[in-house]
Amino acid sequence: MTTRPRLTREHVIEAIIDLIDGGRPEELSLRHLGTVLGVDPTAIYRHFRDKDDLMRAVGDRILANVMADLPPPTAPWRDIVVEMCCRLRAAHLSRPGIASFLKSGPPQLEHELRHTEALLFQLRRAGIDDRDAVLAYHALIELAAGSAVLDATMVTLDAIEREAVYESWRAAYGALDPDEFPVSVEMASRLYPGCPDHRYLYALERLLDGIEASAAQRSRDHVPAN
């Protein structure tokens, strides 16, 4: 603080991650970032082309955590895949503005490349042929990142507030006209079961079930004799 080290890319990235972790994702403007860093807001343009470039760097930094301390590669493939997908989801959940993350393409994010490599490796290890492995990889990414986008706003609330919101939604379903919405009214109390993570896990496990079954079916077609 008293010393004034020259501004680096790392300083900026670090400051943003602190703001995100501190639960103040609305303060991510370059102007606010400048005051936090004790620097003119436009100084950031010395190190990043534009805000998109900056957020991409932050995204890659967050993705680094996804790959750290995974189960050993000899663990059951499905355990590893589930762990990676849950962490990918968590990484996306912690990051506002996911759009600028993947849209610009994987080759720009070093850690996303490592993530792709590890997922494809595990899917292949599961005995899934290359064509299905690629489709399965895309499916896993879409579910993990996509569910994070939908849950992002709810996860910023603490568990009690969140449950209160869900309860109000259940009540709204329950109060519908039973002639027009018979199933919704009947199932209202069962909606939004458990926490968002738990619901994601169900979706992920079912998707993996389907991927496994389909891959087994295909290899049976190709090698009819057992």
Partner DNA sequence: ACCTGAACACCGTTCAAGT
- Contacts with DNA, residue ranges (CB under 7 A): 6-7, 27-32, 39-43, 45-47, 50-52
End-to-end Cα separation, the chain, in angstroms: 70
| Residue from the set 190, 221, 222, 223 that interacts with a second copy by CB under 8 A | 190
Does 51 sit near a second copy (CB under 8 A)? no
79 binds a second copy (CB under 8 A): no
Residue from 7, 43, 86, 154 in contact with a second copy (CB under 8 A): 154
Long-range contacts of 193-202 (CB under 8 A, 24+ apart): 195/159, 195/162, 196/147, 196/151, 196/154, 196/155, 197/86, 197/89, 200/86, 200/89, 200/143, 200/144, 200/147, 200/151, 201/82, 201/86
Task: Please state the closest distance from residue 82 (CB atom) to a second copy, in A.
Answer: 13
Altogether, the residues listed in the chain come to a count of 226
For a second copy, the closer CB: 69 or 180: 180
For residue 103, give the nearest of 151, 141, 135 by alpha carbon: 141
- CA 41 → CA 38, 44, 76, distances in Å? 9, 6, 48
Contact present, 139 and 207 (Cβ < 8 Å): yes
From a second copy, DNA, none, which one binds at residue 77 (CB under 5 to 8 Å depending on kind)? none
**For the window 202-221, what string marks contact with a second copy as x by the rule CB under 8 A?**
xx-xxxxxxx-xx-------
How crowded is residue 196: how many other Cβ atoms within 10 Å of its Cβ? Answer: 19
Residue 206, contacted partner among DNA, a second copy, none, CB below 5-8 A by kind? a second copy
Using CB under 8 A as the criterion, which residues of the chain lie in contact with a second copy when the complex forms?
98-99, 102-103, 105-107, 113-114, 116-117, 120-121, 124, 130-131, 133-136, 138-139, 141-143, 145-150, 152-154, 165, 168-169, 172-173, 176, 180-184, 187, 190-193, 199-200, 202-203, 205-211, 213-214
